[in-house]
């Protein structure tokens, strides 16, 4: 009985650290990012963060905000509604939401 009680939280932890995204999605997102986003947001998301949003700081718990901003544009960022499919935006989220794969 004691063994069962101990096993449950451990299993939960293993699940939480298993990674939210598929490595293949992150890699597809990395390539897509460098085709359509890096010219403004910087190679590997590195920029001064003064006039262009620093994507390394984007809150990883706000996927809907990400999807909304990329789809409709925001401020000086154009809308990507015509340029990208929802699947392409989803792999971009895998890349950015995992901090480039570092926090997956
Ligand atoms: C033409 C330059 C440009 C390109 C290309 C660009 N962005 Fe942006 N992006 C910006 C600017 C400028 C902002 C800051 C907008 C603001 O808050 O006024 C921004 C902000 C953002 C934000 C934060 C939005 C928020 O909710 O605060 C996200 C996420 C983002 N960009 C993702 C992307 C992704 C993903 C791509 C590639 C598909 C991309 N951007 C391409 C210029 C660009």
2 in a domain, yes or no? no
87 pLDDT above the threshold of 70: yes
- pLDDT tens for each residue of 36-65: 999 999 999 999 888 899 999 999 999 999
Asked if 41 and 55 touch (Cβ cutoff 8 Å), the reply is yes
Q: Distance, CA 52 to ligand 1 centroid (Å)?
A: 7
Other Cβ atoms less than 10 A from the Cβ of 11: the count is: 9
Structural domain of 52: 20-97
Other Cβ atoms less than 10 A from the Cβ of 65: the count is: 12
Name which residue sits closest to atom 17 of ligand 1, judged by CA.
75
Asked if 36 and 80 touch (Cβ cutoff 8 Å), the reply is yes
CATH number at residue 44: 1.10.760.10
66 in a domain, yes or no? yes
| pTM of this structure | 0.87
Name which residue sits closest to atom 41 of ligand 1, judged by CA.
37
Total count of domains within the chain: 1
Cα separation, 30 vs 100, in Å, equals 7
9 in a domain, yes or no? no
11 in a domain, yes or no? no
- pLDDT tens for each residue of 1-40: 555 555 555 544 444 456 899 999 999 999 999 999 999 9
Cα separation, 44 vs 99, in Å, equals 10
Q: Who has greater pLDDT, 102 or 14?
A: 102
């Amino acid at each position: 009985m004691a063994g069962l009680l101990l096993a449950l939280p451990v299993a939960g932890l293993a699940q939480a650290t298993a990674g939210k995204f598929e490595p293949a999605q992150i890699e597809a997102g990395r390539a897509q990012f460098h085709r359509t986003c890096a010219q403004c947001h910087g190679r590997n998301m590195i920029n001064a963060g003064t006039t262009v949003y620093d994507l390394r700081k984007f809150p990883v718990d706000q996927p809907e905000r990400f999807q909304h901003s990329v789809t409709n544009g925001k401020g000086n960022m154009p809308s990507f509604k015509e340029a990208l499919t929802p699947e392409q935006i989803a792999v971009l989220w895998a890349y950015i939401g995992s901090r480039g794969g570092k926090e997956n």
